[in-house]
Amino acid sequence: MPFDILKFFRGSTPEAESEPIPEDVPAQDFELRLTYHAKSSAGVRMSAGAAAVTHLPDVAQPVAKGPIEVVEPLPLSLSDAAAELVRPLAAMQWIEAHGRLSPVTRHAIYVLESVAAVDLAYDALAVGLLHGNVDTSGYPEFNAVVGGLASHWDESTGDLMVRGVVGWGGRGVRGDTDRVAQRLLANIVTNLMASQYAVEMTTLEKPVPAAATGGLVCASCGFTSGDQRAFYCPRCGTRLLRG
């Protein structure tokens, strides 16, 4: 009797050894689809000066359903911030940089950064909820549209370059959100062009450091300009010191 018990626990009975290995094992599938979308308008050149910057929330406010929150470019100490769980240090920097913002603004930053519609290394944002509702935690639902205005300083002239940005998405179907977002973006640009500080519409180039061309470092904020031909910092608008 004891020997039979040992054989049972070792799985060495003739019945166990003769059982065929199944080719198809029943399985339960799990899947989560997250989709984010964003739209960005052409740039609008605005006259240089602090007045144009402080005027941007007023431009976006008529289109928004709630308050417009201003997000400054990231400081150099948090330049690696990213909302990515696979990079814990970057995620902690992202939380430190944006943890005090409202849920709507944090959602807007996450969506717009995820699809590379904005770059907070140099972009400043004036964003809020433009369409739709929020859930019980205060975060926008998948079909809600968030956005406003993104701005940076022109490296050549020092003028403020502004564009409208909208974003939406998450877990859910797309529906007619694309059409709604396009209409909201048009309203934002219309308000922007009606501003007393607007000069002209123009094509924007992303002011990132160019490979193998170096660049000047801003003495005010430490940001590296796009190339050696830059005269103004795209992050803070300070005139660059040229040796």
* Domain stop point among 169, 185, 202: 202
Are 217 and 120 within one domain? no
Are 57 and 163 within one domain? yes
Give the range of the structural domain holding residue 223, as residue numbers without chain letter: 207-243
Are 85 and 114 within one domain? yes
pLDDT at 54 over 50: yes
Asked if the structure places residue 164 within a domain, the reply is: yes
pLDDT in tens, 209-229: 544 345 678 888 888 876 667
Asked if 146 contacts 129 with a C-beta cutoff of 8 angstroms, the reply is yes
Residue 210 confidence (pLDDT): 45
What are the beta bridge partners of residue 197? none
Structural domains of the chain, count:
2
Average pLDDT, the chain: 86
Residue 181 confidence (pLDDT): 95
Are 234 and 189 within one domain? no
Asked if the structure places residue 153 within a domain, the reply is: yes
Asked if 117 contacts 127 with a C-beta cutoff of 8 angstroms, the reply is no
Are 125 and 88 within one domain? yes
Burial of 12 (0-12, 13-18, 19+ CB in 10 A): exposed
Least confident piece of the model among 2-16, 17-31, 210-224: 2-16
Are 198 and 212 within one domain? no
The DSSP string of 157-226 is T-PEEEEEEEEEEESS--TTHHHHHHHHHHHHHHHHHTSTTEEEEE------PPTTS--PBPTTT-PBPS
Are 120 and 237 within one domain? no
Are 125 and 189 within one domain? yes
pLDDT in tens, 78-121: 888 998 888 999 999 999 999 999 999 999 999 999 999 999 99
Q: Which residues of 116-139 are buried (b: 16+ CB within 10 A; e: fewer)?
A: ebbbbbbbbbbbbbbbbebeeeee
Residue 89 confidence (pLDDT): 93
pLDDT confidence band for 49 (50 / 70 / 90): confident
